[in-house]
A = this chain, B = another copy of it.
Amino acid sequence: MSNLWKVSADKFVNDKETIMRMGNVYQIANGYMGYRGTLDEFGPDELVGITIAGIFDRVGDSWREPVNAPNGGYTSVAVDGKEVSALTTPIKEHSQTLYLENALFERTTQYEASGKILTVSSTRFLSAAVPNLGVIKYSIVTDKAASVKIKTGIDCNIWDLNGKHLVDLQLEKNNDALLVHAVTNELGKKVAAVETIAIDFGKHNHSIEANKNLHIIELDTEAGKTYTFYKYFSVVTENDKVDSVKDAAAKIVEDAKAVGYENNLAAHNRQWKTKWEYCDVIIDGDEEAQQALRYSIFQLLIVAPVNGSANSIPARALSGQVYKGAIFWDTEMFMFPFFLYTYPEKAVELMRYRIKTLDGARRKAKTESVGFEGAFYAWESQDDGDDACTYFNIGDPNTGRDLRTHFRDKQVHISGDVAIAMWEYFKLTGDDSLLLEGGAEVILECARFYFSYAYFNKNKNQYEILDVIGPDEYHERVNNNAFTNMVAKATFEIANAVVHHFKQHYPAALDTLVKKINIGNELPLFVEAEKLLYIPQPNNEKVIEQFDTYFKLKDIGIKELKAKMIHPNEYLGAGQGLAVPTKVIKQADVVMMLNMFKDRYSKDIKKANWEYYEPRTEHGSSLSACAYAMVATEFGNLDFAYDYFLRTAKIDIEAKYKVYVGTIFMGGSHPAANGGAWMTAVFGFAGVQATATHVNINPRLYKKWNQLTFNLIYKGDRFAITITQSTVEVVAAASNKTSHTFIIAGKSISVEAAKKITESIA
């Protein structure tokens, strides 16, 4: 397999930081859980982590964060009585590979131990077919006969950022299976991890040592002979809604063992084949871009929620407990589009997560500040939709004090981001079942929130959205942030459109909903608000002011600003941050708006704002570069767009990101940037934009690229798109139910099922 389908290393670098970063790069996941790319013999100090999606815990006053499961993938080996580990044993050779095709992690290490060479190989995957299941094939071979002791089982020493989340651990063995049962500290949710092995050599014992539940396998190896066994491990939590988490976990490994390694792998591979059929993007002529983009897509695919889970994707995905495992606006704005255009059965789970947490958003609206109406979605959302974001969310290294930030109470655009995604789902899938099952309620409650948050300016006869933070978090508590106001306006538009759609198609459902949430009197107000909500307009230079008075701020270069820093980790925002009184912004804000609402603004305006804001943007967020890249494609600055595309796409494969803010560890993967990379390729360079009625394709392929190939799903029908420098080819799947309109470089074409159309472009 070409290196465009894998990531590999041929040596082991024994330092903590590299181990941490490689743990991110080589992680595997299956939506239910993630498993960091650490070696079999590693423990919590090397940040081994099996992070479970959708289950959270809090210890004392510390941050609430996702629960890491006991590590059923643990194995260590001793040769002639001496335990072997990559941390302490001389290594003759080491290689490790992550296979993108099917999310397989493989490692082979030759240890020089007791004057002999022990080769350890393992292959691990988290089943894409059985969400709770992990499978490992583990082999050893010694170059000389040796006395070998293998310890394999479940390591209950868990890497936790903020406290010990699993308590009341019970470690036991039942028949062939090792079992661990625990409950979460805060809510007492049951968690079970079970492991069993299929093995045909050695003498076996059971032992519980140093908080590990272990099979002890002793054998005298023959020189050169390979000894292989298979591990099946499972994690089940109370969220899985089973009668007994322990029995369910045991059953899963029992079944997996019965089926055998190859069959488990085959089932897993079948799932992965589909994923790539839906989602791959092929860039011909640019291997660097190809690998980075594919790796980015891979990162999204491994964390796509399990069907029916109503889970979403945290900002650091399943790479650990970083950022509290919380779901931010990142998911709707940067990940959701990828799934919506390629894999809507995953997109719908992201939306179901917001429906599931609507009550949390209502609670937040009622209790935040003076209390508001409707749904104010959490800035950092966990299982229940309550906000995990703290009011003092950043430490100041200059004073050692925690800084009051307003991410939680003022970043109100989150509700509109949710409403917009909800409506996009309907527009692009044509499927209004999501609206009926709660999506419409979400949208109306978001509009209601904005109405209660907005103020009316009688002098100017307009609604205004005051005291917010836009995407540029360096400027807190601003008025009429262009991005936020536009998102709020869109929310009113969508609420009004939902009402219209329901009136036409589901009058009874509308009636029920209106009564349920008692919103009848407010609906006319949403119509007024859509009309009278103030949207900052371009000035004479076509530049839109990011918020009221932004143009009055000090215009200072980013370098000049940073030269004033006292501590390298000091935060530039919050009350007295260095950027606050200046025009320096953290990330795309107006430009993000121009990208989100690209239909509403001319190329000229996009260019003017891009040129105004880009030099003032610190790109202090991994979300920033791709927004600038996408807008740059629209007005033809493709070199810049390409540069920022690569920067975005390579973030996780290169793993050179900053991992500490103050004293807070924030290392982990960047699924939003991964989504941004995909968007830049498909929305940016390929110029794809689907609407309720058609799909636009306005390619502006980068000069280096011969051909860009990808698949799309639109209103449930599938298309393969191939773009060259001179042509656009659209192939409709034979199974498509109907024809769809494509507007290719301005030309409207109806594409019927099984039809292939090819258009020349200038």
Contacts and interface: CB of A to CB of B under 8 A. Distances in A.
A457 interface: yes
A456 B459 CA distance: 10
Contacts of A655: none
A362 to B, nearest CB: 16
A466 B465 CA distance: 12
A566 B400 CA distance: 10
A588 to B, nearest CB: 24
Contacts of A549: 369-370
Nearest to A370: B548
A312 interface: no
Interface string A451-480: 110111111000010110000000001010
Interface stretch (A169-177, A573-581, A623-631, A724-732): A573-581
A399 interface: yes
A509 B477 CA distance: 44
A374 B466 CA distance: 22
A399 B398 contact: yes
Contact of A459 (B373, B458, B467): B373
A361 B727 CA distance: 65
Contact of A576 (B401, B456, B457, B458): B401
A461 to B, nearest CB: 11
Nearest to A525: B458
Contacts of A548: 369-370
Interface string A160-173: 00000000000000
Contacts of A458: 451, 454, 456, 525
Given A467-B467, A575-B574, A576-B576, A581 B457 contact: no
Contacts of A466: 455, 466-467
Interface in A400-425: 401, 403-404
B477 A477 contact: yes
Nearest to A529: B458
Contacts of A634: none
A13 to B, nearest CB: 38
Interface centre among A401, A457, A566, A576 (most CB of B within 10 A): A576
Contacts of A574: 575-576
A524 to B, nearest CB: 12
A391 interface: yes
A46 interface: no
Contacts of A479: 370, 467
Nearest to A580: B404
Contact of A581 (B399, B404, B566): B404
A396 interface: yes
Contacts of A575: 404, 574-576, 580
Interface string A566-586: 100000001110001100000
Interface string A32-58: 000000000000000000000000000
Most buried by B among A373, A399, A525: A399
B459 A399 contact: no
Contacts of A457: 455-456
Contacts of A392: 581
Contacts of A404: 575-576, 580-581
A463 to B, nearest CB: 8
Contacts of A566: 399
Contacts of A399: 398-399, 566
Nearest to A564: B401
A81 B259 CA distance: 116
Contacts of A580: 404, 575
6 contacts: A370-B548, A399-B399, A404-B576, A451-B459, A458-B525, A466-B467
Given A373-B459, A455-B457, 14 more contacts: A370-B549, A396-B576, A398-B398, A399-B566, A404-B576, A404-B580, A404-B581, A451-B459, A452-B459, A455-B455, A456-B457, A477-B477, A575-B575, A575-B580
The 9 closest A-B pairs by CB, nearest first: A575-B575, A455-B455, A456-B456, A575-B576, A370-B548, A452-B459, A576-B576, A456-B458, A404-B581
